[in-house]
Structure 1
Amino acid sequence: MNTLQQYDFPMVMPVITESELIYPFMIIPLFTRDEDNIKAAHKAVEENSLVFIAFDDEQEQKKSFYEVGVIASIMRETALPDGRVKLLCKGLYRGKILSILQSLDEPLQAEVDIFDYKEYEHNKMNALLEVLREKVLHLANLDGRFSPDFLKTIESNDEPNRIVDFVASAMRLPKIHAYTLFAKDNVEERVLWLIDAVIEETQAQKLQKEIKNKVHNKMEQVNKEYFLKEQLKQIQKELGTENARDEEIEQYEQKLNELKPHMSENAYKEVYKQIKRLSRMHQDSGDANILQNYVEWVLEIPFGKYAKQKLSIAKVARQLDLDHYSLQKPKERIVEYFAVKELIAKREETQSHTKQNKSTDTNDIKQEKGTILCFYGPPGVGKTSLANSIAKAIKRQLVRIALGGLEDVNELRGHRRTYIGAMPGRITQGLIEAKEMNPLIVLDEIDKVGRSYRGDPTSVLLEILDPEQNHAFRDYYTSFDI
């Protein structure tokens, strides 16, 4: 009140422009090298007058400023060696420019008046201030920008505009938002606007704290895993098993390269990709164990290994007569089947030596598709023993797959690798057991196949035995054609 009694408003005073927002209660040093500001400061000091601190309008390309600012007094003016001038200013109260006064010989001046606030209802204002204090206290628990002395100040102060200015200055609001709040003359609107700003900042601080905690926990987990892995490496080094993992991966890659000429391109790419994945995994993880089982199963498949015994009808007939008495019809049918195969083989051999009419011969002589022999009859009549005799005669490994009671289609097609305990199907396992790609496979008890919620194995058998499809059998476990 004493300050107001010393001056008669409105009054003319020099204008200093400043980029940062200054509040009436502040005593703050200003550093400037702008000639207009320096001239205005000199004039205010010489005439012992007040100065109006206006805020730059950054949205305008040319030099401009807002009309609402702070009326202040310059307590000290100091010239600095770098050419700047330091002004120690004390904010007194808000002011508003009524008109601009500028001449060639004088610094920028303006006619300024006090910018008063509108009247407000005290009971409602007290309630709003309690809400504001509560929200600020909540924000202070999340953010350390509010000191205990600051909280005591807003708790003990009953002047709403002073409290709003205190909180706004401590929150470091964006300049455009801070000026919007500063230029409001409705006190209730100022308090409500600041409450919303504090709530928004509180939510942002909660989110940042949550993200920081997650990042911190993740970093702790990563550091812990790294520390444990390094410990494990040192233990393995002491035990002499440090290079065992690398040696296994190297053996897998070496074996895969040996099988590469006999594998399809898709099969090679799939196995190679899984070996590389295995090399990047920690050996004690569950996925690494599943992947290692897959690689070991696949590399056991006898790619490129075929029985090359030349087919002979006489040997087949001799072996059948040696092992079985009677059974003339089955033996004649078997011999007839192999006679057709031998005839086709001889015609293809003749074709390879005779190059005349190659295209015509190729159309006449088509490669035989896989034919299936079906033996049926009551138990004990010799169905499986006939298959044994055929395997002996053509020098092939015999693989017997018992289908009695089979209900799960995955037993034939293989399990998906995503399941625990996944394994290749019985067909693929038979190839691995026989150690050759063309064994004699016996599907025994095919009439006793079951059916359940796991699927219908007969539909899978149809696909396997269909001559139009069985030229390329895909196991779900291997994920490529065999």
Structure 2
Amino acid sequence: MQLSDYSAFPTTLPIVVEDDMFLYPFMISPIFISDEANIAAAETALRDNSLILVCPSKEGHEGERSFDVIYPAGVIGSIMRKVNLPDGRVKLLFQGLARGKILEQVSNAPLRAVVDVIESKPYNEIKIDALLEVLREKIRTLASISSSFPQDLVRTVEENHEPNRIADLVSSVLKLKKSRAYEMFIEEDVEKRLMLLIDVVSEEIEQSKLQREIKSKVSSKLEQANREYFLKEQLKQIQKELGVDTQREEEIEEYRKKLENLKPHLTEEAYKEIKKQIDRYARMHPDSAEAVVIQTYLDWVLEVPFGKYSKKKLDIQEVKERLDKDHYGLEKPKERIVEYFAVKELMELRGVKREKGSGAILCFAGPPGIGKTSLANSIATALKRPLVRIALGGLEDVNELRGHRRTYIGAMPGRIVQGLIEAKEMDPVMVLDEIDKVGRSMRGDPTSVLLEILDPEQNTHFRDYYLNFSIDLSNVIFIATANDIGYIPAPLRDRMEFIFLSSYTPNEKYEIAKRYLIPQELRKHGLKKSELTISKSALEAIIEKYTREAGVRNLRRRIADIVRKAAKELLENPEIKKISITLKNLSKYLEKPVFEIEEAEKHPQVGVVNGLAWTAVGGDVLKIESIKIKGKGSLQLTGRLGEVMRESASIAFSVVKVLIDSGKIKIDQSAIPKTFKEKEEKIKVDPSEVYRRYDILLHIPEGATPKDGPSAGITMATSIASLLSERKVRPDVAMTGELTLTGKVLPIGGLKEKLIAAYKAKIKKVLIPKKNYDRDLDEIPAEVVENLNIVPVTTIEEVLKEALL
């Protein structure tokens, strides 16, 4: 078959990518393909009765199918036969015809390109004959000292006078790297091509000579090793005949084999330590206590997956798709996660090594049930890496992380090393759950170990006390989770980059329940989608009246309660085929409601103000109440307040006094308690007497719950001002902000949670510090902003103007 049997070149041909062999024009060779791209290319060629171009893939890109990972030249040829194999692969019998190169890319699925034949440049026949004679001499020399070069090929080279054919023949026999083989293959100058080939053959000759020399030197050693082997086998047979147990020797030999297999991946320190322990174990009596300790150590240490890493390359598109698939909302956290892995992927693609001390440790911070651990699960799934979860809540013993020294009874590796053994890879996704709940005791401070684990400058040489050598944790993706970062020690916080996850809005909870929770619970309880439906109004009622949380954990439990009762009802009443949960029959499946946030009062009251608070489970609306009792101007605080809130209350009281003294808060004479003489003589009393003749009791409800934080100053000031001036407070207004002695409103934290709480409580107007209004409003969900009248305030006078009637 000739090229002339087909259309003229250049022409468009399908491309088959070959990962294993480097083919040449003269070869008739079987090609095994299994991926869709190659199969599609082959079927296109057979359907169109056209030739194909077989291109080799570049080193390190085997299995990938794109123009970026293949060499832009290969062998033009035809498919003589195609056979479908039982294992799903396809066998092609390929006949090479000529060298070809890609001129223009046409399509990617399958790969197709405009291809032209590689024509050799004109050459000087006398020079080429001289070069061929040198090449033949080298080949004869190589064939005489190496059995890998067949004699019949020598005869073929002697008889042939076509230089390109000879170059292809010789190249096909030599075991060349793809890059070097391609360098000679693509060369259009015949003279240069032969010169390159002569260099390669010369190197092969030197290698073969060196191999023969080494073989002659080691032959005596091999004979000695063989002799020892036969003697050992004889000894084993004798011991077997005598009834002596040889199991221990076999175990020791197995340990040595495992160590030698791991040697390329171990540091010198680690190899020496393990080898020393194996030698000690071999010398000990098997029944001694120390032998048991060393055997346990060897069983542990040889299970550590040294040198085993995930083969899946980073792809941020997969990470993004998985995060979007598994989680509704959380746009900013998901965006930051994708950015984190985008940097890693870019460095991998460009072959940039991570600098010592670079990289960040992510920490997902937010209320319980918001999706911190499930985000880590999604990351591990997208990266196709094993997930290891280490629960740090209540951890007090430093040895739990670093491992126990082998001198102690029951010693074992730390949780980090155990996690690597469990993952069976050295680069898993490791979740350090509840890092804010790590304890400290007489057995050490685990946070000091976490500093070493999470510090990129130190974790390349993390030392486990049990292993007694350092291991590299720099390839592990550490993700920490925390509810309140205030409990994390400052040095440890400095090692982490925080991604804050805030409370879900009612609409987000509804979408999450509809898309994820209900289908998941139906699957868990064996129900079909057609057997149970929950109406929108019923689901909204569950969210508003049956759960008290920032996340969706309790919402999942309530849905599970409904599904269990529905499953029971279906079994007890076979005639029922479908159960529909509506607002009317919801009480049948759930117990009485638990209101999360009390709705705003409809009638204004004196001294009662809606304050907004941040808690570990999201935002909340607290009604701050105050009453006045005839007294001497003291301020009493109740509700289990912390030191910060007590100071805020004192400042608020002082600010209100200043406003009364300056006349900015008008006090009616009827609001001031008067003496008998003042009443009889109708004496006007100074307005400041209103706070001198009353004792004020300020109370924040839920007295059993500790409350503290710098964000209630303006709320307490409004309550006191309302009480003393006897002006009612608008019931549909809530507020948050700290107060200075000069009456300025300071910014606060947790604004998103507080505004969501106000939205849930059906508050209409919210007063917030102006700095928060300018800085944080873009982080608030759109549905909350649309349904609240958010008013920025800078002074207490503005607050009182908006809040008091």
Q: Give TM-score scaled by structure 1 length.
A: 0.47
> Could you say which structure has the greater relative contact order, defined with CA pairs below 8 angstroms and 6 or more residues apart?
1
Higher Cα Rg, which structure: 1
Q: Which has the higher helix share?
A: 1
